[in-house]
Amino acid sequence: MVGSAAVIRRQQFLIRCLGGSSAGCKNLGYTTIKMQSLMSGGGPSLEVDAISILRSITPSLDPSKHKGQAGKIAVVGGCREYTGAPYFSAISALKIGADLSHVFCTKDAATVIKSYSPELIVHPILEESYSVRDEDKKSVSAKVIQEVDKWMERFDCLVIGPGLGRDPFLLDCVSGIMKHARESNVPMVLDGDGLFLVTNCLDLVSGYPLAVLTPNVNEYKRLVQKVLQCEVNDQDGTQQLLSLAKGIGGVTILRKGGSDFISNGETVSAVSTFGSPRRCGGQGDILSGSVAVFISWARQNAVKKESSMSPTVLGCIAGSVLLRKAASHAFQSKGRSTLTTDIIEHLGRSLEEFCPVSR
Amino acid sequence: MVGSAAVIRRQQFLIRCLGGSSAGCKNLGYTTIKMQSLMSGGGPSLEVDAISILRSITPSLDPSKHKGQAGKIAVVGGCREYTGAPYFSAISALKIGADLSHVFCTKDAATVIKSYSPELIVHPILEESYSVRDEDKKSVSAKVIQEVDKWMERFDCLVIGPGLGRDPFLLDCVSGIMKHARESNVPMVLDGDGLFLVTNCLDLVSGYPLAVLTPNVNEYKRLVQKVLQCEVNDQDGTQQLLSLAKGIGGVTILRKGGSDFISNGETVSAVSTFGSPRRCGGQGDILSGSVAVFISWARQNAVKKESSMSPTVLGCIAGSVLLRKAASHAFQSKGRSTLTTDIIEHLGRSLEEFCPVSR
């Protein structure tokens, strides 16, 4: 019952977002949402598209490959206050199939994140204002950026923001890391406090096609206010999302919600597979880690059929549908008790269902 | 399907490595690979040989034995950045059947490694440059070496390198530890940054028959370049491996890859049991810990039948086949989500299958 009510609500929401008429779509190069099928309830379901995309970019497991070829991800986040978020993001990347997952965080956070799992490589290199004297800030910042730089070329994708906090000095260092990542053409997924940073300094991502922003309701609102200088308008949600992505120079935006909407300023796609009604904190971190892996794979494995969509869009669609499937499995098993850790435990099974190893 | 395709590719690779004709074997004292059986697909399988060797060196569980007689292993590794690798190596040794497993690491790493498991004995004695003043380096180094020396005689085998890092001062101390281990005739398995150290200072292991190097693709490449002053040549891989092991004075080399090749400069053996297509980081650490235990056992229990092979070669073969079996079980259970921890959980079951307690 929960499922069917949710489907109806979701469809109503989608229709609202699309402006209620096919004219609302006229500027879109590609949508995975077909108004006809939504309004009639017939036609191919949205989930089939997302699953096909996930399948098309997920590499086969080839025994001739060696360590690293299935993905090397790094999460920049974790400070005195937050340790769970970067862990969720980094471990999700491994559970989906990445070979190596790094975390760059503060010393305080590092001991804890390391202790969560021996599978992660945790670098205790970020610094917060309270631990650095004003006169040392320049040299410390240079050292932090240099430490990450040593690894930069090896990473297939960065996730910036999970549990990053808002310490001004730390964010300043992270801005430097982002500039270097961009120079090295490394894709970046921005979430949480990474979005706070970017919203206040759009130049960090503006015009960079390998940047992905994954805002929730409030983060999206702040982005719209900053970039479009207006309020969120769900009556014309699709057009506004397109305008927002265009306004930041063609970055990819994954607008999280009852349905996830994804745009790079040229196309808009939606994923509305039913996930779970639980809204426990940390699910966005699973998404950011997953999207990072799928983007890496999409850049290697995008098939011709999907070539009208960019690797960042493909990665967002795959990450979205996988999280929803895993959340659904976890909720079936744990109900109200479902936590983010439970969802992570279902990532592997969910991916196997979409994309069996033996295919 | 993945499995059978992989078997064919592996066999083709083996045939290439063996030079494609029986003449390619003429310099080998012993090979576990028979060209005939590889090319025809018939004859005794490689895995049977490796399993027989594992059985021949694994001691029976005799209730009259006391603590320590089944093996006392020490891992030298674990620094500010890395804690997972030494844990994987040390816990694998215990899971296979060693009685005691120590870790010698830095203070930063010790707290975390201790928190992974109460089963390990963790010594926070290594120091990195950043925590030692230049004028104190000599005395600190002497103290570090002395601390390990107190235990040296008790160890059946050292593993040097998992998560060791590349801090120059730390590596200098580890060089000292290695010299003392060699004087005490303690076998050493070198992996990861231990191989980095050894490649830059071959004298540490050259001519020491109880040294085992376990290079992956890149580490092997660097060794070949340093020792043979040429590039890796897979057309004549067997001969090159023999030359490399001879060139370092008869150390044992376990060349990791689709098949593992093992040589001490006199014999070449291969283990090609299918493991898993997952290449998550940490599997090399399981191998180093396992090889350390099997070498200890091989030195005690080598039976006459296998006496043409050295204990280090026997240990490598047994470690290789056990890791592959455990990886295979873990992959069957977890698929793409398989992580190193999952493989470790299957070590015991895999060893029991090869070598039942009740035999």
Average pLDDT over residues A9-34: 37
The pLDDT assigned to A232 comes to 96
What number of other Cβ atoms are within 10 A of residue A16's Cβ? 13
Residue B313 in tokens:
């070669």
Mutation to test the A interface, candidates B255, B276, B336, most A Cβ within 10 Å: B336
Nearest to A163 by CA among A97, A90, A92: A90
Contact A119 B282 (CB under 8 A): yes
Average pLDDT of A282-286?
97
pLDDT at position A339 is 96
What whole-number distance in Å separates Cα of residue B74 and Cα of residue B102?
4
Give the residue from chain A lying closest to B6, CA to CA: A63
Average pLDDT in the A67-87 region? 95
- CA closest to A71 among chain B residues: B280
- B16 touching chain A per CB within 8 A: no
How far from A85 is each of A140, A284, B21, B109, B113, CA to CA, in Å?
A: 25, 9, 56, 22, 22
ipTM of this complex prediction, to 2 decimal places: 0.82
The binding site of A for (6S)-NADPHX consists of 163, 216-222, 285
Interface check for A121 against chain B (CB to CB < 8 A): the answer is yes
In whole angstroms, give the CA distance from residue A138 to residue B208: 49
Contact status of B216 with chain A (Cβ, < 8 Å)? yes
The helix, strand and coil proportions of chain A, stated in percent and rounded to the nearest 5, come to 55, 10, 35
Tell me the domain boundaries of chain B. Answer: 2-11+20-354
CA distance to partner chain B, nearest, from residue A45 (Å): 27
Amino acid letter, A285: D
The per-residue pLDDT for A44 is: 32
* Single-letter code of the amino acid located at A320: S
Beta strand segments in B211-281, E:
211-213, 252-255, 260-263, 268-271
The CA distance from A103 to the nearest CA of chain B, in Å, is 10
Question: What whole-number distance in Å separates Cα of residue A263 and Cα of residue A250?
Answer: 9
Strand partners, B188: B158, B211
Cα(A157)–Cα(A75) distance, rounded to whole angstroms? 9
What pLDDT score was predicted for residue B307? 57
Q: Which residues of chain A neighbour B1 with C-beta distances below 8 Å?
A: 358
**Residue B80 is nearest to which of A61, A124, A358, comparing CB atoms?**
A124
- A185/chain B closest Cα distance in angstroms: 24
pLDDT beyond 60 at A28 = no
Contacts B85 to A, Cβ<8 Å: 118
Report CB contact under 8 Å: B335, A347. Answer: no
- Residue B43 pLDDT exceeds 60: no
Scanning every residue of chain B, which has its alpha carbon at the shortest distance from the alpha carbon of A115?
A: B112
Out of B281, B283, B336, whose CB is closest to A348? B336
Put simply, the chain B residues between 152 and 181 with a CB less than 8 A from any chain A CB are: none
- In three-state secondary structure terms, A334 is helix
pLDDT greater than 50 at residue B243: yes
To the nearest whole Å, the CA of B69 is away from the closest chain A CA by 29
Distance between CA atoms of residues B126 and A146, nearest Å: 25
**Measured in Å, how far apart are chain B's first and last C-alpha atoms?**
34
Beta sheet of B121-126, edge-to-edge order = B121-126, B100-106, B72-76, B157-160, B188-190, B211-213, B252-255, B260-263, B268-271
CATH number of the domain at B2-11+20-354, please? 3.40.1190.20
Residues in A closer than 8 angstroms to B9, CB to CB, are: 63-64
pLDDT score recorded for residue B100: 96
Contacts 24+ apart (CB under 8 A), B248-251: B248/B202, B248/B205, B248/B206, B248/B207, B248/B211, B248/B213, B249/B205, B249/B206, B249/B207, B249/B208, B250/B207, B250/B209, B251/B205, B251/B206, B251/B208, B251/B209, B251/B211, B251/B212, B251/B213
* The pLDDT of residue B207 is above 70: yes
The band of A214, judged by pLDDT with boundaries at 50, 70 and 90, is: very high
- B129 and chain A in contact, CB less than 8 A: no
Are residues B330 and B342 in contact, defined by beta-carbon separation less than 8 angstroms? yes
> Alpha helix (H) ranges present in B34-136?
35-40, 46-57, 84-96, 107-116
Helix or strand (DSSP H, E) at A190 = strand A188-190
> Is residue B220 within 8 angstroms of chain A, CB to CB?
no
A61 touches chain B (CB under 8 A): yes
Average pLDDT over every residue of A189-212: 98
DSSP per residue, B160-212:
E-TT----HHHHHHHHHHHHHHHHTT--EEE-THHHHHHHH-GGGTTT-TTEE
Rounded distance between C-alpha atoms, residue B82 and residue B77, angstroms? 8
Asked if A63 lies within 8 A of B9 by C-beta distance, the reply is yes
Contacting residues of A for B116, CB less than 8 Å apart: 115, 118
What residue of A is the nearest CA neighbor of B89?
A118
Q: In terms of CA atoms, which chain A residue is nearest residue B11?
A: A64
The two structure tokens encoding residue A336: 């109200």
Of chain A, the end-to-end C-alpha distance in Å amounts to 33
Tell me, yes or no, if B280 comes closer than 8 A to chain A by beta carbon.
yes
Instruction: Indicate the Cα dihedral angle A176, A181, A183, A187, nearest 10°.
Output: -140
- pLDDT value at B127 more than 90: yes
Question: Measured at the alpha carbon of residue B88, what is the angle toward residues B225 and B161, in degrees to the nearest 5?
Answer: 35
How high does pLDDT run on average in chain B?
86
Chain A CB contacts of B335 under 8 Å are 348, 351-352, 357
The answer to whether B222 is a known ligand-binding residue is yes
What does the pLDDT look like over B280-289, one tens digit per residue? 889 999 999 9
pLDDT above 80: residue A24? no
Do the annotations mark residue B277 as ligand-binding? yes
Nearest to B3 by CA among B321, B277, B337: B277
Q: Determine, for residues B81 and A123 on separate chains, whether the beta-carbon distance falls below 8 Å.
A: yes
**B282 touches A119 (CB < 8 A):** yes
Does the structural domain A2-354 have CATH classification 3.30.390.50?
no
pLDDT score of A274 more than 60: yes
pLDDT at B301 over 60: yes
Does residue B80 sit at the A interface (CB-CB below 8 Å)?
A: yes
B215 is in an annotated binding site: no
Tokens of A171: 């964010």
- Residue B2 pLDDT > 50, yes or no? no
Binding-site entries of A = 163, 216-222, 256-260, 275-285
Contact A355, A96 (CB under 8 A): no
Return the HEC string of B148-172: HHHHHCCCCEEEECCCCCCCHHHHH
How far apart are the C-alpha atoms of A35 and A24, rounded to whole Å?
10
Q: How confident is the model at residue B21 (pLDDT cuts 50, 70, 90)?
A: very low
> Looking at the complex, does the CB of residue A64 fall below 8 Å from at least one CB of chain B?
yes
pLDDT on residue A26? 28
